[in-house]
Structure 1
Amino acid sequence: MLRRQNPHRDPMSFLAGDSEMAHRIRNFDWSGHPLGPPETWPQSLRSALGICLKSAFPTAIYWGSEMHLLYNDAWSAIPGPRHPDCLGARARDVWSDIWHVIEPQFTQLIESGEGIFVEDQLLPLRRYGFEEETYWNYSFTPIRGEDGAIEGVFNSGSETTDKVFLRRQTEFLLSLSDMLRTASGPDRTMTSACEALGRHFGAQRVGLRDAGPGARPDILPVAAEWTAAGLLPVDAALPFEDLGAVAATLARGHVIRIDCLDRITDPAVRTHFEALGSAAFLAVPWTANGELVAAMFVHLDRERRWTSDDVTTVEKVLERTMGAIERERARLREQVMMREIDHRARNLLAVVRALARITDAPDIAAYRVKFMSSLEALSKTHALLAAERWTGVSLHNLLEAELAPYQAGDGARATLDGPPILLDAEMAQTMAMILHELSTNAAKHGALADPEGTIAVSWSSTPEDVLDLRWTESSRADRAAAPPKPTGFGSDMLGHVIDKQLGGEIVRDFSGGRLVCTLRLPLRRAGQADAPRQPAGDDGTAPARDAPSAQRILVVEDDPIVAMDLADTLETLGYTVVATAHNVASALTSLHKTPPDLAVIDINLGRETSEPIARELLARGIPFLLSTGYEAEADPESVFASQPRIIKPFSSTELKERLGALAGRPAG
């Protein structure tokens, strides 16, 4: 094969060719260089350099006692900006940043005469003004001269940084995934992820800004943070928008890479990072539906050229972290939802049981009609609340639903007039029962029993948030001789609910063939905290004890029908009910006015809990029984944790047993 080469040989053919480095070596001024002109170079160097320049693999030659550098095109990218000035330079000068690594390797080669091969060797290069973590596979092979002595070193190799980082990233992310699977709760998940990423990068601090459920994305508070020992955390209260261009860039969904603080043009933002002792900064956004909802940031106390691998690592950590957080939040939401469903179902059963017990009728057929009518009214209200996700129901919609059967046909028999008023879920159910009783009475004894009768309902609210509702029934003259006289459960319910439970009043007036019912009720609007209401007996004071032996008991229950049934049951069992209260304020007022011997308190009172009531009872040494629709035990840290409880719906027998056990039990 070798016989086919060109017979015309040039001693300088080892420098022939059109490659960049062949051209540079030919045109380099070697006259004053220790290696001398190429024409004087020994054959061993010429042969080695000829192989080097013709190789497509990154190759270099270190020659002479000072290890002067020669290299090919493929190798020219390795020294970065040191090329092409490193041509002919001493190895010690070219590689001053890694001389502590390669000088011992050169020494080993020269002393042993054997070549060296290393894999994934860490070389902390400073090619671009700051230290880079780079990894390499390379070999050093001795080149011997004509006398057999080692005259130089043949070097070939390639960078493996990407491979090392990918392997390290894979191992890190697998470890992170295992850790996140065992993390308990969103807070621990975020903190663990920040710590793991911080240790992976050798960072100064790592944090996660998270909008969280219902939070404002422009604030994006620091939800979790890990810092190296002795460092102060980022100010959690620092508004995200105060980060200027950094915040604006992240809000657009772009990654922020700051290799050194000089690149930050906003003086205030730069000062912020300087105060934290940070020299480099990386932040990766997390968006949902085009909106920024989280961002993970990494601070270093040294300058760093952030790579695409660095960004990918943070992105994958953020992806896994947010995924774990969302799964945990979804699990918690599901738990809350299931508890709430169970709670509402039990409360509804308690209401149904109360309706069944207190509904009065002369026979089974009449009882069935009354009971089913009450259930239908309750069902309508629940349907309205469900449509609004239990946030509230407008008074107009309640009236419309109740009077709908009388609006069909040729002409409407009921007119509604009043401003928009949105009632909370608890008051909506109470109002539904009140309106149902009024419409039922009208259908049996009043205007709706007359084919030509009509009803007009108007309402307004006062500055003190009191609802004024006027229910007017108009009938024919021959039916208007005497006013209707409602009796039984409906009348009892109206009086109990409006007077004792809601602290309101109902006034009936019959004149000129018209019945006018005027209701004045303190409003409980959707999204509004309960206002204090004074519990009272029939004469405006707390009921007196029936007998010296009767134990006085306080009832706290936000559902008026359940409260009415519970109070009636307690009276039947021989207790004296000093007051029924439906919120914290009215219960505390009653406690201060007429301290009871015992209490039965519902844990959840609409948008508030009875915790303040429980604390007051404990402080006074008054035993109490918790009434709840929740099966789950209370938080061990809660005031309710060690207190006896009864689960709705409950029987009078069960209530009697629990209260009997409670009577001899000290509070707390």
Structure 2
Amino acid sequence: MVISSPVAVPASSRMAEIIRRHDWAASPLGPIEAWPDRLRFALEICLRTSSPSAVYWGPDFILLHNDAFGAWLGLPEPRLLGQPAQQAYGELWDWLSPQFQAVMESGQGLSVAEQIIPVARDGVIEERYWTYTLSPLTDETGAVAGILSQREEVTRAVLAERRLSFQIRLADALRGETDPQRVKQVATALLGEHLGASRVGYAEVDEARQVASVRSDWTRDGSTSLAGQHAPLSSFGSEALGALRSGEVLVLPDLGSLPAASPELVAAWNAMGVRALITVPLVRDGALRALLYVHEPEPRAWRRSDAAIARDVAERTWAAVERAQAERSLRESEDHYRHTVELNPQVTWTATPDGALNRVARRWEEWTGTTGLGDSWAEGIHPEDVPASFAAWRHSLETGDVYDIEHRLKLRDGSFRWARSRAFPRHGKDGAILLWYGSTEDIHERKVAEEHQRLLINELNHRVKNTLASVQAIAFQTLKGDVSLAEARARFEARLLALSRAHNLLTERNWEGAGLERIVRDATEHLAGDTSRFELRGEGELSLRPRAALALALALHELVTNAAKYGARSSERGRVSIAWREEQGTLLLEWKETGGPEVNAPERRGFGSRLIERGLAPDLAGRADLDFEPDGLRCTIRASVEAVRAADLA
């Protein structure tokens, strides 16, 4: 039977036309006109499927596939078409073959979840994860003659789950650690094992001496430690050092391929066993304080998730280190305070067993203008605190308990300061009190600090509530509608990370504001990875208030994500232009996509569109317009400069 059109699929299917024109006469399948109806029917299903799908026919499993399968392989031409599966898959066939044979022999389908399948793209092997099915195809006799395979990439979900699991492990490992050095050791070991790195460590930076010093690091078996070494900051190169001082993460897959790197600099790094690296800076109060580094002795194609997890570990570890240092400092301070008060008090005094002061250090008179002898010490205390002080002193005299009370001193000039008075009894052999030894210490600064701390806690509570409100809104909108759990989880995590990065930018300036250009660059670099397809043009440097900075960061996240899925960044020729300027008190920021798929206005607006068009207006005291132009999305944001400008941080 002669079939004039053996493959009935839409004209847009590139693979259908290629299959029609392919010379099948010399292949095990024979001329296309003679193919079995079952094979042609299975192939039509394959070609009409949007997910990567393939048909394997005959004892050699001759490969036929659709356009999406070719895109998954990253091949510009269908080089594997018509090849036996063993030849097409190479080394992968060693573990794929038993799966195919099991389906052929049993006649039952097989489903495989989250299987790692390396894919070569641009000469780099990428780690990808897939969930796929193998379904038997029968011939006219009912015997299994082939297999239909359909797959879905789940790399993002797998990596997100791994990252969350790692973060939980890290948090559990750091919990309870009070030694700052031990905190670093635990974190670097976990990160090194997670990334399969050669060396991970922390370097403390001394800007005054212009050196970075390593106390200890984690190394894989056979790798050389940098512990005890000191490297000049100039060894990073001026460009890289400038990026680190600005808080940017340095990710280099191959130092030898850098066009601007000097041979001497590359040789120096090679001597330390470094060819590829990730370096995360710690910037506090505008100064570079420390570096987290991940080193490899050979070139390595870092994933964006590698740099992200390194940055996350750095931030979590530094927070744990600062907490441990604060706790240690507090313990040392309390110990010092105890010895100072008990052994070297500011004012020492003694009292007889009946409570009368018989000796008082001269400084008491310098403070209050009274001698303090007898009961005259009450004249140097705030009138409101005298009753409580007398009551506590009477209780100590009657029971022998330590006298310890805080009260306000009345100074010579009429002002008041907080003080702490303590007294300890010395007993005779018969247990009777012989003498009281006391001291009074000025604690005014501490009391003021406690009040300041209370105000800070109230402010922190306010910020936490606002953050939780933002997270609640993101969660509600992300989970709203008909969306799969995996997609919702991926969207939710991405939006939380965007919110987190915006918080990081604000933290660098003590939540007083964040630079507009830094917000734009942070969004494009962390979400897009390849920034060569972004054109940024800004006039002047503008610092935004925290509320405006957070709103703009989330809006840019939605724009970049949308561009990657549906807009300019979904096409190899796509480009995005982001420009901003001030015009007569108005900040004008324009996002324009070109070179991507033809744009049509959506029938309904999603969370991202609503966030941009409605959410930005109150936070920026302006408006945002989305124009779905045929050649690419245009987003125009107008904001009142007076409303969004942060206070001068100079």
What's the TM-score, normalizing by structure 1?
A: 0.49
Larger CA Rg, structure 1 vs 2 = 1
**Greater relative contact order (CA < 8 Å, ≥ 6 in sequence):** 1
